[in-house]
Amino acid sequence: MSRGWRYDEAVGDKPMHELAVTESLLEIALRHADGRRVTDLYVVIGQLSSFVDDSVQFYWDIIAEGTNAQGATLHFQRVSAEMECLDCGQRYHLSAEHMACPLCDSTQVRLVCGDQFYLEAIDVDSERVEERPT
């Protein structure tokens, strides 16, 4: 399948794992759009996730070209990391300077949320459009 660009030319110094997840976002969006134009995607990214918004957007602009998702807007929602102390049960938001529990100073903690990456919602036009070649 040729789109007029090569992965190695498009990638440059961008992280490769963003390419794979962006391809998955596109595949999911097109499948759920069922022949309609995709207008918006809402993506949730946790604070501790290794995914970078700008890299996902970079790849999106390349791989969505020529599809029913071309021109769709990506909306990124960042979720802060929440920890739970295994000693006292305190839940708190992770800060850059202190990982230990702010209540008892224990380092026996677990991540409750903040490492996620998922597609939360997709907006599509109500009318079907002519299929574009992929």
For the chain, the structural domain boundaries read: 7-80+114-124
- CATH hierarchy code of domain 7-80+114-124: 3.30.2320.50
Minimum mean pLDDT range among 20-24, 33-37, 129-133: 129-133
- pTM reported for the whole predicted model: 0.76
User: Residue 64's Cα: distance from chain center in Å?
Assistant: 15
Give backbone dihedrals phi and psi of 78, rounded to 5 degrees, phi first. Answer: -90, 135
> Tens digits of per-residue pLDDT, 2-11?
233 333 334 4
